[in-house]
Amino acid sequence: MTVVNTFAHIADVHLGENHNPAIKKLEIETFSKTLDICIERKVDFILICGDLFHVPIPDLEVVKEAVTKMRKVKELGIPIYAIYGSHDYTPTGTSIIDLIESSGVLVKIARGKVDDDKLKLDFVQDEKTRAKLVGINARKMGLESKYYEILDRESLEQEEGFKVFAFHSGLDEFKPHHLRLMETIAISLFPKDFDYYAGGHIHKRSENSLPGYEKVVFPGALTGYGRDLEDTSKGEKRGFYIVNFTDKLENVEFVENKPVESIYYEYDPTGKSSVQVQTELKENLAQLDVAGKIIVLKVSGELSGGKISDIGFPSLVEELRQRGAIDIHLNKHGLKSKEYTAIATAGEESTAIESRIFKENIGEVKVSVEALQNESGLRISNELLEILRVGKQENETKESYERRLREHALEVLGAKKVIDG
């Protein structure tokens, strides 16, 4: 009788992303519930494909809770394997993932060295199932592409057995439209004919296939943040995959793990004044049952009169919070005002327009650093815009351009002196 083995494929947990205590608790509870499902389903091992935490050195309380749960899983005989995600990576190579591995709770599977200008990776074999795991760690801004360019694919392809390739990168061939400007890599840089390609980094779930790469899976973000919350509130499912295999892939199953109820509310203010919008939004939001839910409020359109700052979004958000909403995600990127459009046609210099807009809206921005407030904040904002106006120079590499922007920005913010000592 053929034994069917199973493993769980998880990615983009982003523990500690949100500073809201209720959401921080929700993130760890969702992760904990995911591991409980893995135990119930009797998986043989768990594979985490990057971004277990949102930052390389996260809040220690979050780390403690996550490690406590993972240790219980390991004590039940279920090993946990992992690779770095872009949020786990640090240039120094010191990440909480390394510390957790040193405690014996998980095993990193991105192993190898560069020899004769070729990156030679070593497989990690799961003791129980004999599955062979290998992967490449992510870096910031897609810089892991350099690893793929020098990867010794041939030796990986020649290895026999059930093979899993773990990665944390976007792929040219399977890039979601809203991420079309993201740095991605070509799947042709992957070794061919692995049984399963376990992805991370893309927060939208997908199962993909191409000749030579028959099963390429992104489980999506486990909880998500930012745009993810909007997608979730519109019905996108969150969860992870359970993979069944023998000496070959048998099937994959998406397991939904709904983190919390959410409400998506979209409002179009076109043709209305800021005063009308303030009144209508207040009345409409009052009709929603928001207690214990995440609220995604999207306001997109053009005001007929008044300034955007007149709407008083902070007070609307606070009212929702007072009524029991556990978090409010406000998206007003598509909100415009005819008053600003009129300014642009009045012959005023663009820099003056920018200064006026900054001055009128800087009060909406909550900052704790005194230097970024009021007139000082206005000056810094304008100086940062001037830096961004200087485009990439001819023959200047992307890395050099970004380094130059970063250094100039640090000078404006007064941070370079601190860093340089």
Report, as residue numbers or ranges, the catalytic residues: 87
Short-list 253, 240, 121, CA closest to 190: 121
| Long-range pairs for 19-22: beta carbons < 8 A, 24 or more residues apart | 20/326, 20/327, 22/326, 22/327
How many other C-beta atoms can be found within 10 angstroms of the C-beta atom of residue 54?
20
Short-list 218, 234, 405, CA closest to 331: 234
Give the whole-angstrom CA distance, residue 147 versus residue 218: 20
Structure tokens at 110: 């991105």
Q: Is 285 left (phi over 0), alpha (psi -120 to 50) or beta?
A: alpha
Cβ-contact 331, 231 below 8 angstroms: no
